[in-house]
């Protein structure tokens, strides 16, 4: 198992620009690394609807100005508001953005917003880079996934966040290496009780090589590598098992790619993103 040292998002991502990769290869977050399984997707439960139903597609799309250079994106309002609680809120008529039909997101990286927009239209995550060598392309995918997770939290798109969690898991299984910065990124963009946090805790408790536990030491609170709440959650998990011991597992032993809902936040009352069509209205 190779170790993956943490990436500094702010330094590594800011230096990149224009992720224009339009890979034809599918990167469905729900598919396993086994290509023979990639064609198996959930069927739509209902196909035919009344001609009076459906979205208002006659409306002009919303203009979204992204990044410090106001890169323009155009998306239909219903698609935005049905997917993102953030957009649903700001596009109400009594908000300036809803009235003007323009939303500015100056602090969002356009290349990351593009990944989210492709997700809206396809239900897939276009985060892989097939061009570079193995080390570089893996690092770049990690950087994309961290940025996607943060954007999903900002836009309050829970399905996108669940899908990103699945992409983290798929990447770990495919590359046989764990993300040492996973807890830092997940805890920074999730709330207490999130099942996403359980993924970070399980990875640490079960996957991390024991000698790497020294990485947990926090010498300077302002530059803490691991979030304090994460350390508490780790103690809560390993405490009851201390007498018997906590068994280390391999990545394939820990994860079942067909059953990742235990790390999702949709809960039992809402459907998993895997069961939804790409367009929802």
Q: Given the rule CB under 5 A, which residues bind Zn ion?
A: 261, 264, 272
Question: CB of 271: closest distance to Zn ion in angstroms?
Answer: 8
* Rounded Cα gap, residues 91 and 156, in angstroms: 14
- Locate 185 and state its tokens: 């990124």
Question: CB of 261: closest distance to Zn ion in angstroms?
Answer: 3
> Residue 2's beta-bridge partner residues?
177
Q: Which residues of 245-274 are buried (b: 16+ CB within 10 A; e: fewer)?
A: eeeeeebeebbebeebeebbbbeeeeebbb
Comparing CB distances to Zn ion, the nearer of 108 and 163 is 163
Question: CB of 67: closest distance to Zn ion in angstroms?
Answer: 31
Comparing CB distances to Zn ion, the nearer of 90 and 272 is 272
Question: CB of 167: closest distance to Zn ion in angstroms?
Answer: 13
Question: CB of 158: closest distance to Zn ion in angstroms?
Answer: 10
> Which residue sits closest to Zn ion, CB atoms considered?
272
Comparing CB distances to Zn ion, the nearer of 166 and 177 is 166
Question: CB of 165: closest distance to Zn ion in angstroms?
Answer: 9
DSSP 9: H
DSSP 263: G
Answer yes or no: are the C-beta atoms of 3 and 213 closer than 8 Å.
no
> Residue 65's beta-bridge partner residues?
72, 104
Comparing CB distances to Zn ion, the nearer of 114 and 264 is 264
Comparing CB distances to Zn ion, the nearer of 112 and 165 is 165
* Rounded Cα gap, residues 102 and 261, in angstroms: 35
- Locate 269 and state its tokens: 């009352």
Comparing CB distances to Zn ion, the nearer of 224 and 272 is 272
The dihedral sign for the CA sequence 85, 90, 91, 94: positive
Answer yes or no: are the C-beta atoms of 67 and 104 closer than 8 Å.
no
Comparing CB distances to Zn ion, the nearer of 88 and 272 is 272
Question: CB of 264: closest distance to Zn ion in angstroms?
Answer: 4
* Rounded Cα gap, residues 88 and 21, in angstroms: 29
Task: Provide the angle, in degrees to the nearest 10, between the axes of the packed helices 195-202 and 158-175.
Answer: 20
């Amino acid at each position: 198992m190779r170790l993956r040292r943490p990436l500094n998002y702010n330094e590594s991502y800011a230096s990149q620009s224009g992720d224009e990769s339009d890979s034809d290869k599918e990167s469905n977050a729900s598919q396993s690394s086994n290509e023979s399984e990639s064609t198996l997707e959930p069927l739509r439960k209902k196909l035919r609807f009344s001609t009076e139903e459906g979205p208002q597609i006659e409306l002009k799309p919303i203009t979204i100005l992204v990044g410090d250079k106001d890169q323009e994106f155009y998306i239909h309002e219903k698609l935005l508001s049905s997917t993102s609680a953030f957009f649903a809120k700001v596009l109400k008529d009594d908000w300036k953005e809803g009235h003007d039909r323009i939303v500015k997101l100056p602090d969002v990286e356009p290349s990351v917003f593009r990944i989210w927009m492709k997700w809206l239209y396809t239900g897939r995550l276009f985060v892989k880079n097939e061009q570079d060598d193995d080390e570089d392309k893996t690092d770049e995918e990690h950087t994309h996934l961290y940025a996607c997770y943060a954007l999903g939290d900002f836009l309050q798109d829970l399905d996108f966040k669940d899908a990103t969690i699945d992409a983290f898991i798929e990447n770990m299984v495919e590359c046989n290496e764990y993300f040492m910065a996973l807890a830092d990124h997940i805890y920074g963009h999730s709330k207490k009780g999130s099942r996403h946090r359980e993924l970070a805790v399980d990875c640490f408790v079960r996957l991390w090589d024991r000698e790497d536990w020294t990485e947990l030491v926090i010498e300077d609170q302002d530059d803490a590598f691991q979030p304090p709440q994460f350390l508490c959650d780790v103690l809560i998990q390993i405490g009851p098992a201390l007498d018997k011991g906590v068994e280390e597992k391999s990545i394939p032993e820990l994860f079942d790619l067909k059953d990742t809902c235990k790390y999702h936040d949709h809960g039992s009352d809402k459907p998993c993103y895997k069961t939804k069509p790409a367009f929802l209205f």
